[in-house]
Structure 1
Amino acid sequence: MTIAPALSPAIAAGDLLFLSGQLAFGDDGAIVAPDDVARQTEQVMANIARVLAAHGLALADIVKTTVWLTDTADFAAFNAAYAQALGTHRPARSTVRADLMLPGARVEIEAIARRISGE
């Protein structure tokens, strides 16, 4: 039995867009690369970019992220993939270790983005 989550991918509040936590779901709806946090991070960031684009925003509009990793040993690989996805942009970030809800998920990221006034 599949349980649909009771959430929205993103909610706007004024000039802020709050994105729900994103997991490494591929196009087939399955978690990608259960043993590769770097690949999962790439997928999560692509999923975040897709949600942002649907609201006319981009990764460069992110002002804050919260990251959950299932294993502290994954931090370096996660951080490298995260930095690669963002280029020179460096939003504020909190990173914690936690168990995630889906088997095989190694990273979850939520984000807050800001729409520049007048856009």
Structure 2
Amino acid sequence: MTRLFCISTLFAAIALGGCANLQSNELKFVAVPGAPKAVGPYSQGVVSNGMLFTAGYTPRDPVTGKLIEGDMVAATNRVIDYLEAVLLGAGCSLTDVVKVTVYMTDLADFAKMNEAMAAKFGSHKPARTTIQVEKIPGGATITMDFIARVPPQ
């Protein structure tokens, strides 16, 4: 019985050790040209322990710095495009997104944001929180950030 216990314990230790190698405590900072550069002391995205955490993005043109023109559908699409660029830079796609946080200045635009998200995500339905806030930097009406799993490379 003791021998069986020792062998079982050894196999469990080897298996757990192998799993531990799949996770890394090292941080990987993601910087991609397809999304606006960070304008402060933050990163476009950070990978830690197999998860990607993105910065929040607004529908601002990365060259001019001005908000794009259009309705909430256009604004949401632009924000998701930026976030998708960060996802791709970390080896992810929209189907890897597990959590979306949306901040809006007017929940009257919720249906349009929802419409744009449904079109972009298709059948993939990550968890989401939507919060109305008084102001978003730069006068934007929406900002979003993602948490995504990073698939094994």
TM-score by length of 1: 0.89
What SS is found at the alignment partner of 2:102?
strand
RMSD of aligned residue pairs (Cα, Å): 1.2
Gapped regions of structure 1 (runs ≥ 5): none
Structure whose residues are more often helix by fraction: 2
- Identity, % of aligned positions: 32
CA distance in structure 2 between the aligned counterparts of 1:32 and 1:74, rounded to whole angstroms: 16
For the pair 1:74 / 2:109, whether they are aligned, the reply is yes
Aligned equivalents of 2:71 and 2:125: distance in 1? 23
Is the Cα–Cα contact under 8 Å of residues 103 and 132 in structure 2 kept in the other structure? Answer: yes
Match of 2:54 among 13, 16, 19: 19
Contact 2:90-2:150 within 8 A present in 1 as well: no
Partner in structure 1 of residue 137 of structure 2? 101
Number of matched residues? 113
- Look up the equivalent residue of 2:131 and give its one-letter code: V
Unaligned segments of structure 2, at least 5 residues: 1-38
Higher strand fraction: Structure 1 or Structure 2? Answer: 1
Q: TM-score, normalised by structure 2?
A: 0.70
Bigger radius of gyration, 1 or 2?
2
Residue from 73, 76, 82 that aligns with 1:41: 76
Could you tell me how far apart the structure 2 residues matched to 1:39 and 1:96 are? 19
| Residue among 92, 108, 111 paired with 2:127 | 92
Aligned partner of residue 22 in structure 1, secondary structure: coil
